[in-house]
Amino acid sequence: MHRRWLLSALALLMSIFLAACTSATTQQPQTKITNPTETRNTNSQQLSKGSVKRVVALSSLSADIISRLDQTKIVGVTGSKLFKNDSIFKDIPRVSEGQSPPNLENVVALKPDLVIGAEGFYNIPIQKIQQLGIPTFLTKVNNWESLEELTKTLAKSIDADPQPLLNRYKSFLPEKPTQGFSTLALVSRQPILAPNKNSWAGDLLAKFQAKNIAADLQGKSPIGGYVTLSAEKVLEANPEVIILVNPPQGNSEAALLDSLKKEAFWQQLQATKNNRVYVFDYYGLVNPGSIDAIEKACQQLKQALFVAQGT
């Protein structure tokens, strides 16, 4: 059990690390950075209005956004498990599987006029695609505003109306603010790793008025937007609500909880005593993943943070 948890934690850390990587070494001759000093939202690259007709998306979120804006414009996608049972993507060619690099021959064969990638992923393939004269666009979604900005940018590039999607996003959020619970989002057990305010998860917790105990903490973690906590720090904060993240490898919820029950500090927390421990999927809370995944995470946050208050 301990070995499985350690391996899962390492895999989760690697997933978060990849999502948080920068692409400082990736050149982008086909795009113009309008604000090179921007650090929280790199979706400020410019694309010509209405010029894009054929898109290959190497990130699941971008593929999802494009397909919902105009399904006819998406000609190739990453092989994400999020699309496994989605009829929209049933007949669209896969150019990569999991975290494997995209097959460049397959990408070129689709004759795209834009390839969208996530910042920090596949830097070398993206460079090769650019060298072939195919425009590329890198995305980074680490807060709600960057999700909205990305949607507007992609909609403009394919001459689509972003408003229906923006309205849908708005429906995910609580209608009125409420007094928040002190909350710990735990994305790894060994080490104890939690999101601060500079991550997608941290920003999402803030949108739901959760008092994230790690929001303003900074640490030496190599993963941007996340900090490591000691058991003593968790006990000191004594959160009212604990959110556990099931790693993308998909360990069972029971196994996740059972392993934590063995920790000496676990039973001393008020969240544990009051049965306010909730398990979330990795996609939606840590990695936005897809629009449906985001919606599901928001629904769970409403249940975890609002139901007990009768809102």
140-177 tens-digit pLDDT? 999 999 999 999 999 999 999 999 999 999 999 998 76
* Residue 243: strand, helix, or coil: strand
CA distance 142 to 157: 21
If pLDDT is split at 50, 70 and 90, which confidence band does 222 have?
low
Which is nearest to 187 in space by CA: 240, 146, 247, 276?
A: 247
Asked if residue 5 belongs to a domain, the reply is no
Model pLDDT, residue 191: 82
Share of the chain above pLDDT 90, in %: 55
Q: Of 156, 172, 188, which closes a domain?
A: 172
Check whether residue 151 and residue 202 sit in a common domain: no
Q: If residue 278 lies in a helix (H) or strand (E), which one and from where to where?
A: strand 277-281
Cβ–Cβ < 8 Å for 301, 279: no
104 vs 87: CA distance, rounded Å: 25
Do 78 and 152 lie in one domain? The reply is yes
* Residues 271 and 206 grouped into a single domain: yes
- Mean pLDDT over 272-283 rounds to 92
Please tell me the predicted confidence (pLDDT) of residue 254. 67
The mean per-residue pLDDT over the stretch 209-225 comes to 84
Determine which of 75-79, 146-150, 257-261, 276-280 has the lowest per-residue pLDDT on average.
257-261
Residues 225 and 123 in one domain: no
31 closest CA partner among 95, 104, 96, 115:
115
- Tally of structural domains, the chain: 2
Asked which of 172, 204, 223 is the last residue of a domain, the reply is 172
Domain of residue 185 covers: 180-306
Q: Above 60 in pLDDT, residue 115? A: yes
The verdict on 114 and 147 lying in the same domain is: yes
**How far is Cα 242 from Cα 177, in angstroms, rounded to an integer?**
20
Task: Please state, rounded to an integer, the average pLDDT across all residues of the chain.
Answer: 81
Same-domain pairing of 218 and 273: yes
Any domain includes 7: no
pLDDT value for 128: 92
DSSP 3-state helix, strand, coil percentages of the chain (rounded to 5)? 40, 15, 40
Tokens coding 119: 């910042």
Does 13 score more than 50 pLDDT? no
Per-residue pLDDT at 281 exceeds 60: yes
Neighbours of 159 (CB within 10 A): 14
pLDDT per position as a tens digit, 94-106: 998 767 889 899 9
Q: What is the pLDDT of residues 183-206, one digit of tens each?
A: 999 988 778 889 999 999 999 999
Asked if 82 contacts 293 with a C-beta cutoff of 8 angstroms, the reply is yes
Residue 226 has pLDDT above 70, yes or no: yes
Q: 132 with 105, same domain? A: yes
- Which sign, positive or negative, has the C-alpha torsion 110, 114, 120, 124? positive
Question: What's the mean pLDDT in 293-299?
Answer: 97
Q: Which domain CATH number covers 278?
A: 3.40.50.1980
Domain annotation covers residue 226: yes
The answer to whether position 211 is within a domain reads: yes
Are residues 121 and 18 in contact, defined by beta-carbon separation less than 8 angstroms? yes
Q: Mean pLDDT: which of 6-15, 33-42, 299-308 is highest?
A: 299-308
Which DSSP symbol is given to 287? Answer: B
Cα–Cα distance measured from residue 133 to residue 30, given in angstroms and rounded to the nearest whole number:
8
- pLDDT tier, 263 (very low <50, low <70, confident <90, very high otherwise): confident
- Answer whether residue 223 is part of any domain: yes
- Domain limit, last residue, from 137, 152, 172: 172
29 in any annotated domain = no
DSSP-assigned beta bridge partners for residue 192: 229
Contact 281, 148 (CB under 8 A): no
Most confident of 23-27, 183-187, 306-310: 183-187
Q: Within this chain, do residues 190 and 251 fall inside the same structural domain, yes or no?
A: yes
Average pLDDT (52-80) is 94
For residues 227 and 273, state if they share a domain: yes
Per-position DSSP letters for 25-41, written without gaps between them: T---TTSEES-TT--S-
Q: Based on the domain organization, do 134 and 247 belong to the same domain?
A: no
- Per-residue tokens: 79: 């092989």
